[in-house]
Amino acid sequence: MNIFFDLDGTLIDSRPRLYQLFQSLVLNSELSFHQYWDLKRDKISHKEILLSKFNYSNEQYNNFEKKWMSEIELEKWLQLDTPFEGIVDLLMRLSKNHSLFVVTARQSESTALSQIKSFGWENIFTKVLVTQQQQEKHSLIKDTVEITPEDWFIGDTGKDIQTGKLLGIRTAAVLSGFLSKKSLLPYQPDIIINTVLDLNIDKITNRKL
């Protein structure tokens, strides 16, 4: 079967990158890492945070958003990303019997590919699918891979769960990323697990959830 993995927050911990970038763009922010992520995991958007806590105008917010998108994949920030511990062993094990894919909404395909290479993962995945913000994840998958209802999509956001559901495949939400359990529950994933490492492959393969 095919297993589709989101990248940020699912296979790698991108939280330090996002927090540090936020701090660098919002000079008077005294939010701690945990305070920032408590807000984000409750699905409070940057716009809400900046308008309510930092008195940003809409124009200031728009400038923030532009800078955010232009800096978020810069090498200096990407260097803060780290794979979740133990993930490579899991991926190696899974790749023996299944086709593994990364599906990410990153803007830059080349940067995503070189980051995956830097982790030594280049031979694990059948393909790395990067939307480059030109296409939705589900349509990119549909265009590239022949899917079956036994396949899985594993990700950390509501959008990831919606992607799996739009494709008619099974979905696992992980709590290692950008959203809390409370924020993910309304999307009704088939399973919710703390991290990808909690994926019980025998169970998912035998469809015993």
Whole-angstrom distance, CA of residue 203 vs CA of residue 209: 6
Return the number of the residue (13 or 156) whose C-beta is nearest Mg ion.
156
CA 159 to chain centre: 10
181 neighbors 175 (Cβ within 8 angstroms): yes
Alpha helix ranges (H) inside the chain: 15-25, 33-41, 46-53, 58-71, 75-78, 87-97, 109-118, 137-144, 158-167, 181-184, 201-205
| Segment near Mg ion (CB under 5 A); pick from 9-17, 34-42, 65-73, 191-199 | 9-17
Residue number of the CB atom closest to Mg ion = 9
Q: Which of 2, 3, 5, 9 binds Mg ion (CB under 5 A)?
A: 9
Q: Which of residues 101-160 bind Mg ion (CB under 5 A)?
A: 156
Strand partners, 4: 101, 153
Q: According to CB under 5 A, which residues from 190 to 209 bind Mg ion? A: none
Exactly one of 2, 4, 6, 102 binds Mg ion (CB under 5 A); which one?
6
Burial per residue of 25-37, b for 16 or more beta-carbon CB atoms within 10 angstroms, e otherwise = bbeebebeeeebb
Contacting residue, 8, 13, 81, 151, with Mg ion by CB under 5 A: 8
Closest to Mg ion by CB, 56 or 171:
171
Nearest distance from residue 178's CB to Mg ion, in Å?
A: 6
Q: Is 13 in the site for Mg ion (CB under 5 A)?
A: no
Query: Which CB atom, from 151 or from 160, has the smaller least distance to Mg ion?
Result: 160
Residues that bind Mg ion (CB under 5 A): 6, 8-9, 156
